[in-house]
Structure 1
Amino acid sequence: MLPRFLISGLTAAVLALSPMLPAAAEQLRVASLDSLESAPVLHSNAVLIINAQTGVPVFSKNADKLSSIASITKLMTAMVALDSNPDLDAALTISDDEVDRLKRTTSRLPVGTTLTRREMLLLALMSSENRAAHVLARSALPGGTGIFVSRMNQKARQLGMTHTRFYDPTGLNSGNVSTAQDLAKMVAAAYRYPLIRQFTTTQEHDVYVKTRLTHYKNSNALVREGEWQIGLSKTGYIQEAGRCLVMHAMVGTTPLIMVFLDAGGSAARTNDARAIRTWLEGHPGTWLAG
């Protein structure tokens, strides 16, 4: 017998996504539900896996649970920044405004560092560099960071992310909250931006920070390993959010949107992704159809 929480979670997820893909509810078949009896036990407290072609959810766990989302926030920051049609070659300088006084995190971009907007966007998405994300927000629109965060919330509403709230552009503020259902919508929207796809899946990059060559690497081990076909990726972590991961990735010949929130250990989110892929490959169903 299928566990009740999986049935209710899948039903809620289908209904939540049905405005985006009206036929989603009808496409979710009983055969797919029955196969979930052998689904793996995952460490993430909220999970949603969706067929990106059809919108059909293939796995759900607490998909409507509200959680802090940490640096998953930066996908919205990147979209709003790019929506302003910025000059990507313009120089941006890290100022004292970018210093984190909330969590007191450190950065390899000291005050006074100047990079192009393109490089700041790359570092924010690839390595989850908080100061890079903050300077992108501060410099994007007249009115500064406050107006930018308002635009983030406005865009969330436009995307139907009804349970999502943003208070800062980095994700350091634990008040940035969402659900796995909402974040699946955000991943689908972010995937339509070529630069976001490119930068979130770049394995490594070197930049000159003042006069010193500094090496950055992707915060997602699955991207760095190169064994997956990943079209978009973003990690996140603060204590209140746990380890988070969202991806747009191929399993077999099918693109899937994957959301993992509030995992425990540092490798738990990637281990969950591996477990889901192994399970899906071992239980091919309608979600793996081309």
Structure 2
Amino acid sequence: MAATAAAGPGGGAAGGGPAEGGKTGGGAEKADGGDEEAADGEDAAVVSTGVKLRKVGKREGVDQPTAVFRAPKAGPEVDQPTTMLKVGETKAEDEAEVEQAEKGGKAGKGAGGESEAERTSKFVPLRGLDGPAAVKPKPAEAKPAEAGEEASQAKAAVPAPAAPADETAALPAAERTTQQPLPPLDLLAELTNTPPPPETPLRTAVRRVKIWTPLAILLLIVFAVVQSVRPLPEGTLALTAEETYTFKGEEPAMPWPTEGQATVTVDGIGSLGSYGEQKPIPIGSVAKVMTAYTILREHPVKKGTEGERLTIDAKAQQDYENAGQESTVKVTEGQKISVKEAIEAIMLPSANNIARQLARWDSDGDEAAFVEKMNKYAAELGMENTTYTDPSGLKETTVSSAEDQVKLGKAVMEFETFSSVVRLPNYESTTSGRQEKNYNFLVPMYGVVGIKTGSTTKAGGNLLFAAEKVVDGEKQLIIGAVFGQHAPPILDTATARSKDLILRTQELLTSKPVVRKGDVVGHVDDGLGSTTPVVATKDVPAVGWPGLTVKLALDDGGKALPHQAKAGTKVGVLSVGDGTGDAVEVPVALQSDLAEPSFGARLQRIG
């Protein structure tokens, strides 16, 4: 802002010299004095405003660039938020200042010869913290004048601090400062000046498809990989042929006894029926069959050997010496015999003293503990009408039924040591030094191969028997029992009735082909929906008698089925019988190649 020239106390008026540049000495002195005073005023303005004005020379005839401002030092430089310049004075003050500047410009021109164009540019500050700054004119630089006037005018040029103006309300919303971060879509829209498109159901659906489709594809890939490397399920054999076969003809009549109990079965095929009420009755020495079974379960004898050896105690010798009417074998304390010889002694000559000796040897002298084992094994075999109270059967409280003893007969004949002993008519005793005979006089006639006689006054005559017949090259085992025969001689009566049943059963046994070689009897199921047929490798006969119905079953023979194999590979066995024991069996083989499940089948696997 230009300073106004005025007369000082010791000088002339502004018009005291030529207007075109004529200078008097007094005028020059005043000018010099005016410059010094102006400088003093300018320093005062810098202190007050923090802005140093630039003095324009006398002969500069054009506007100069905006002066460089120098801010007061306020301390060490640090990063600060963007700083707004302080808002100037109010509009009324600005107008007064502009008017004063114009007057000063005229005076300066008259005194110093400066034109209107020689004034400095006007600085317009940026908006302040509280709003846009008021526009203020740039004060013109002072011309040389008297010191008093210059100082007064310089002081007048310093702007007074402006009162805060409430200009924030006038700002548009876009210029307001906000600390709230914008959402990502809104921020993107503001940066690109493009508002987000409106949300619609179609856009939502498309977005969801874009998000979920890659995830679904990834899951499908993982599922396919897992399915392809999963272990294959075990294959199974399924029967497709008829499950049963019935022999033509009526059920045959059997020569049953007229008293007591009786029953006959063919092992693995079925029963020809029974006679009498199957209830517990005394069975005599037939109880020794369970004694032998228990010993062989507790002390197995390997094929071709005679098993462990036991020492005869004093009680066994005393039982022989005081036998009376009991069946015994001569023994002496300290003698050693094998398990096999002990079984020979109890099964052929029915030695009671050896039966009790075996019980004491097995259970450390406690016969009662051995009897508990006998009853435990009877329960395992399903002998519901059986109770053992002694190892020899001499006691009348040892009771059973014909059907229960047939169950035991099937089980005990599976022991090679036992079956090889009971088919003997006699044996050489190492304790007595003589041959001991078998009381089952049917051995070895009529195909009879055992098992045990038993007789007491209370029990009558009893025989648990076993016989064989070869049918189509296979031995069929006939097991039966005749109990409670009191017609004298009781043991001979039981033997005769048993022989009649054996001969009739052997007569009735026949064979009929139920499956021919090459017939499809089943298939291998790989567990994933694919099947491969299996065929019989030879004719399958069914052994039975008129009216008998037998069952057909397909089994893998205890071996795991392959996942792939060539045609003709044997994969199981077809059996024909009652399903409870030995039966007629023939191998079955694959009719065509067995292939592993395809990749598609693996993918479709659910379980």
TM-score (norm 1): 0.78
Is this contact kept in 2: 1:92–1:116, CA < 8 A? yes
Does the 8 Å contact 1:249/1:255 carry over to 2? yes
Structure whose CA Rg is larger = 2
| Match of residue 61 from structure 1 | 275
1:129-166 deviations in Å (ceiling 9; x for gaps):
11111101110124621110000001100111111000
- Unaligned 5+ runs, structure 2: 1-243, 302-306, 511-542, 549-583, 585-607
Matches within 5 A, 1:224-263: 226-251=444-469, 253=471, 254-263=476-485
Q: What residue is the counterpart of 1:275 in the other structure?
A: 500
- The residue type equivalent to 2:441 in the other structure is A
Following superposition, the deviation at residue 282 of structure 1 comes to: 4.7
Cα distance between partner residues in 2 of 1:237 and 1:176: 13
Counting matched residue pairs gives: 257
- TM-superposed deviation, 1:92: 2.2
Asked if the contact 2:337/2:430 (under 8 Å) is kept, the reply is no
Q: Report the AA paired with residue 349 of structure 2.
A: S
User: Partner residue of 1:166?
Assistant: 388
Q: Output one character per residue of 1:176-216: Cα deviation in whole Å (capped at 9) or x when no partner.
A: 1011111111111111111111111222112243xx52220
SS at 1:278's partner residue? helix
What's the offset of the Cα at 1:32?
4.8
2:266 corresponds to 1:51: yes
1:65 maps to a residue whose letter is K
Tell me, what secondary structure is at the counterpart of 1:222? coil
Any conservation in 2 of the 1:94–1:131 contact (CA below 8 Å)?
Answer: no
Corresponding residue for residue 92 of structure 1: 311
Q: CA RMSD in A?
A: 2.9
Q: Percent identity?
A: 20
- 1:252-290, Cα deviation, whole Å (9 max, x unpaired): 533211111112323112211221233334545663596
Q: 3-state DSSP class of the match of 1:59? A: strand
Distance 2:334 2:350 in 1: 17
CA distance 1:104–1:217, shift in 2 (3 Å): closer
TM-aligned CA deviation for residue 110 of structure 1:
4.7
Asked if 1:198 is matched to 2:420, the reply is yes
Equivalent position amino acid for 2:502 in 1: R
Gap runs ≥5 in structure 1 = 1-25
**Structure 1 residues 1-290: aligned runs within 5 Å:** 31-33=249-251, 35-36=252-253, 39-43=254-258, 45-54=260-269, 56-62=270-276, 64-85=278-299, 88-96=307-315, 99=319, 105=326, 107-110=328-331, 112=333, 114-118=335-339, 119-142=341-364, 144-209=366-431, 213-223=433-443, 226-251=444-469, 253=471, 254-264=476-486, 265=489, 266-284=491-509, 287-288=544-545
The two structures have a TM-score, normalised by structure 2, of 0.39
Stretch moving more, 252-261 or 233-242: 252-261
Higher relative contact order (CA 8 A, sep 6+): 1
Within 2, Cα distance between the matches of 1:133 and 1:160?
23
Deviates more, 1:114-123 or 1:184-193: 114-123
Name the CA distance, whole Å, in 2 between partners of 1:152 and 1:248: 22
The 2-side partners of 1:239 and 1:122 are apart by 25
Superimposed CA distance per residue, residues 59-97 of structure 1 (whole angstroms, 9 cap, x where no aligned partner): 310251321111111111011112222683423214326
